[in-house]
Chains A and B, each alone.
Chain A
Amino acid sequence: MTSVAPVAAAKPGGSTPKKGGAAGRPSAAAWLVAVPFLAFVGTFLVYPTVLVLFGAFQDSNGAFTLENLTTLFTGVVFDAFVRSIELSALTAVIGAIFGALLTWAIAVGNPDGMLRRTVVAGSGVLAQFGGVPLAFAFLATVGFEGLVTKFLRDNVGIDLFAGSAWLFELPGLTLVYTFFQIPLMVIVFLPALDGLRPQWREANASLGGTSWTYWRHVGGPILTPPFLGALLLLFANAFSAYATAAALVSQGSPIVPLQIRGFLTGEVVLGQENLGKALGLGMVIVVSIAMGVNVLLQKRVAKWVR
């Protein structure tokens, strides 16, 4: 509650400098208005981030060390990173391909139609707010007593869990992740498809082009950068995801976010208190690389879509 108060106080404070240089340099008092926001973000975003990033370079006594980071490249931690990257890359590719198809299917339809509205709203739900409910959706569908599991066992004679408890391991995570990756692709990719002008298609047709020449020479080249950008975004999204995996996998920590859970809930080996922060740093680096390449791609797109 305390951080709300300064906002109300700063507003009238900000009204005093009104005569001070409207066009020139803002007065010191003008800066005061931004203080509550900056103080809040500084405390609850920048401080925790810095804590993680610096903590990754400290041993349990606070002295500088690179040991946490070198540990990232050994044993179970390294395996978790490899698995996380594999899971994210695989679900990003699956999500991008099927998501692009679904996007195309709604983009060619009525822009204000019910179908499009439903798909876009449903995609928003699954892509951004799925989390724990998604894990339970899967237990209900292909869990030990799920609808599909029971149907296949009773009517077809196939036991989904004959081999292993795959739903609670990497294959299960891959399947579940497609349920937020495909919808995210729809949300991210739809603006790009909407940006294709009908005139281009008409020009192609009037010059004797076919559907193939249109996608080969017009649609394809224009959509490639946004498609790759969306692919990277999907990768970063799967890599950062935690809730669904945490609700599904309660034993073991196959992927990095679950490893971090282990460090937070107390399975800490003495002398490795800051290893969790190094894992966090590793995650931020991977996500930042994906996002950075994405920004470069977006700049390329901006030139074309104008």
Chain B
Amino acid sequence: MGSLVKQRVLRTIVLLVLGVYFILPLIAMAEFSTRGREGSRSLESWTSIVDDEGLMEALVNSLLLSVTSAVLMLVLLVPTMAWIRLRLPQLQRFVEFLCLLPLAIPAIVLVVGMAPLYAWVNYFLGDSPLTLTYAYTILVLPFAYRAVDAGLSAIDLKTLAEAARSLGASWFTVLWKVVVPNIRVALIGASLLSVALVLGEFTIASLLNFDTLQVQVNLLGKRNAGVSIAVSLLCLIFAFVLLFALSYVGQRRRQTVVEE
């Protein structure tokens, strides 16, 4: 019993100390962003978020990018991974290696090689910030791959596909009406992860000179720290809500598996 009490005390201390350590900056951000003139409180920093056109434009860019990157990721990854499991198992290792490769190559290194590549991309496809979709799809590959791979491993893909094929379904129907609905939880997980990653991305956007949310927040910090801190706090809260929701998505799947 003595060790159980000790364990409880130690646990409380750990949670308290680290809890304060991590919550203090959040409180400081809330305090800093509500500072008014001469010690008064004011919501000026928060209201001027909406008035800042550059910031709003960058936010729209980032939101669009998060959607296009998630879509391109799904379109590239899901058919390929399903097909590889069904017909090209000899490619599995290689594709896994490619998908996990971005973990070994820091984004700051990748951007060195991407700079000349993007000179071409911008020459042929225009210099819209949306061209970042390609770079971001690469960045989210490792996370998306793991999520989709876990989803595909959890279903009996071969049997499902054979059953659908023997009933006369085309491969496209198999993919769209059998594979996708069966791994939809994994697909939602992969998409939410890539949305969060794209909204938080700074390295590649800033060094390729594109105007995204984080780039603007960083730029704005040089002029008006209050607004940047307010937006930063919003970003952290938004990412937290996304990931918190994600933890329930994962749980629903566990429950359905148990029920079955």
Contact = CB atoms under 8 A, between A and B. Distances in A.
A19 B166 CA distance: 12
Contact of B236 (A45, A125, A242, A263): A125
B229 interface: yes
B80 A121 contact: no
B191 interface: no
B185 interface: no
Tell which of A105, A109, A120, A210 has the most Cβ of chain B within 10 Å.
A105
A300 interface: no
A219 interface: no
A216 interface: no
Interface stretch (B48-56, B105-113, B147-155): B105-113
Interface string A198-241: 00000000000011000000000000000000000000000110
B108 A129 contact: no
B112 A141 contact: no
B218 to A, nearest CB: 5
B83 A139 contact: no
B88 interface: yes
Q: What is the interface of chain B mostly: helix, strand, loop, or mixed?
A: helix
B139 to A, nearest CB: 10
A183 B240 CA distance: 13
Interface in B191-231: 196-197, 199-203, 206-207, 214, 217-218, 221-222, 225, 228-229, 231
Contacts of A41: 98-99, 138, 141
B88 A137 contact: no
A168 interface: no
Interface string A3-41: 110011001101100100010001000110110111011
Q: What is the interface of chain A mostly: helix, strand, loop, or mixed?
A: helix
B251 interface: yes
Nearest to B228: A136
A47 B134 CA distance: 13
B240 to A, nearest CB: 5
Interface in B147-174: 165, 170-172
Contact of A4 (B72, B175, B225, B244): B72
B214 A131 contact: yes
Contact of B101 (A49, A126, A139): A49
Contacts of B79: 7, 11, 33
Given A137-B29, A257-B106, A257-B108, A36 B76 contact: yes
A112 B110 CA distance: 39
A288 interface: yes
B80 A37 contact: yes
Nearest to A32: B83
Contacts of A12: 170, 172
B83 A14 contact: yes
Contact of B172 (A15, A122, A140, A291): A15
B104 A284 contact: yes
A121 B28 contact: no
Nearest to B230: A136
Contacts of A128: 196-197, 200
A7 B99 CA distance: 18
- What size tier do the contact residues of chain A reach? 35 or more
- What size tier do the contact residues of chain B reach? 35 or more
Contacts of A263: 112
Interface string A64-83: 00000000000000000000
B113 A47 contact: yes
A139 B80 CA distance: 45
A276 interface: yes
B93 interface: no
A278 to B, nearest CB: 10
Given A14-B83, A26-B88, A129-B199, A98 B109 contact: no
B182 interface: no
A18 B165 contact: yes
A279 B196 CA distance: 29
Contact of A34 (B83, B101, B125): B83
A124 B236 contact: no
B14 to A, nearest CB: 4
A121 B244 contact: yes
Contacts of B138: 41, 44-45
B22 interface: yes
A40 B75 CA distance: 12
Contacts of A15: 170-172
B18 interface: yes
A131 B172 contact: no
Given A37-B95, A137-B25, A261 B207 contact: yes
Contact of B14 (A104, A210, A265, A284): A104
Nearest to A112: B251
Tell which of A48, A130, A145 has the most Cβ of chain B within 10 Å.
A48
6 contacts: A11-B175, A36-B76, A51-B112, A117-B244, A125-B236, A139-B221
Given A124-B243, A132-B214, A147-B27, 5 more contacts: A122-B240, A124-B246, A136-B221, A140-B28, A140-B225
